[in-house]
Structure formats: structure tokens, C-alpha cells
Amino acid sequence: MALLSVDELCVHYGKIEALHDVSLTVDEGQVVALIGANGAGKSSLLKAISGIVGVASGSIRFRDQVLTDCAPHEIVRHGVVQVPEGRRIFSRLTVQENLDMGAFLRRDHAEVRRDFERAFAMFPRLRERRNQVAGTLSGGEQQMLAMARALLSKPQLLLLDEPSMGLAPILVDLVFDSIEAIRKDGVTILLVEQNAFVALQIADIGYVLETGSIVLRESGPALLENDAVKRAYLG
């Protein structure tokens, strides 16, 4: 059974239709990439799943729960955690305090400590900068902090919104290496990316979104070879 299934989802901003009859499934342990141009509705889909924007019609199911009408903080409780686009960290808190906020809902303190160690092992830079104010980190470090913070909330499904945005190529590689590592830890990932090339390389399944609708669904490698995709997104 699918971990996440989205059925005929419609999202409106006022009169503007952002998503139209979008259906998508994510199986446990997969990395699913969602690619598409600016304004295709990629971020809207993630926001709908994490409850930040309301749903006009359709349904979102995670395991056997319906998330469609849940408040954002309840959805996090179910294990669906989003890393918002644009390296959004708590800039006036320290690295440590940022990570503490990630574990905000958890009561299993011993487990949290172990996850801290795992996060620091994955991103050693963050251990060095533990007591530094997060706003003074470099761009790449901030993206890592945002991802580490999401991991500390012990997600079952991680929603990543444009993790490569605004990063130097070498940092993009680093970020995607850590996405692979997170997947190996057993976290399922739904990834939204404009950088289709890197996204499809690690994706098991790729969806192509165009003006609010899904137009293609293939395995990652197949999409990389697809002529239409090549023309439109890989250049």
C-alpha cells in the first residue's frame, strides 16, 4: 500500500487554480521527484500536503489517515515534515536551538539524543557551529541546518522544497548526497526541484507537473531519457 496517496487534488488561490486533479502516490522507502517549470504548482502541492494551504477538492491520505482537513501542526505529528523552500532557518536562534525546535514534538529524549548524533555525523559542519547564531551561517550550511532540523522531527515522509535553490554546484552535490543518506536511513522523500537533472538521478519515480496538472509519470532513469523532458527541462 502506498505511504502517501494524493487523489484528484485541486487547490485554488482565490480564482486562480494552482492544482487541477493532481493524483500521485509515494511508496515507502522511495525518493519521488516532482519536476516542472516555475509556477507549475510544485510548491503548492507540497504546501497542500503539509496543510499550509487549504484544499478545494480531492483527498490526501497518509498511511490510513486522511490529512486533507488537518492543521499543519497535526500533520507533523503524523510524521510528514516539510523543509520549506529557501533555507528558512530561525536566524536569531543558535544552531543547537534550531535543532531543538526540530525535536519540538518528541518526548523520547534518549532517541532524540541519538538522532542528534546521527544528524551531526551527517553534517559535521553543524557540530562545529553548534553555538553559533544560525543567521550567520553560509548558504550551504543553512540548507544543511534546515534538513538536519527536519530529520530531528523523525519524519516518515520528508517533503523537500527546492533544496538546491541558490546553492553553488559543489554544494548541490553535497545536499543531494545527504538526501541519499537520509533515504538509506529509511525515510521516504518527496522532492520538488527545478534542477531536474540532479533530482531525477536519485529519484525512483518522477512526476512532471505542467500548469497545475501531472503530465508524465515514469521512473527516474526513464524520465532522464525521455525526449520531451530532455527538451523542456534538461536543455
Chain positions contacting other proteins, by CB under 8 A = 50, 52, 71-73, 76-77, 81-84, 88-94, 97, 100-102, 104-105, 132-133, 135-136, 146, 149-150, 153
- Nearer to other proteins by Cβ, of 141 and 208: the residue is 141
- Nearer to other proteins by Cβ, of 57 and 91: the residue is 91
The distance of closest approach from Cβ of residue 43 to other proteins in the complex, given in angstroms and rounded to an integer, is 12
- Nearer to other proteins by Cβ, of 46 and 229: the residue is 46
3-state secondary structure 14-60: CCEEEEEEEEEEECCCCEEEEEECCCCCHHHHHHHHCCCCCCCEEEE
- Nearer to other proteins by Cβ, of 19 and 76: the residue is 76
The distance of closest approach from Cβ of residue 148 to other proteins in the complex, given in angstroms and rounded to an integer, is 12
Grid coordinates of 198: 540532479
> Distance (Å, rounded) from C-alpha 160 to C-alpha 120?
19
Alpha helices in 78-156 (DSSP H): 95-102, 109-122, 124-128, 139-152
In 63-100, DSSP assigns E strands to 65-66, 80-83
- Nearer to other proteins by Cβ, of 48 and 223: the residue is 48
Residue type, 90: F
User: Max Cα separation, the chain?
Assistant: 50
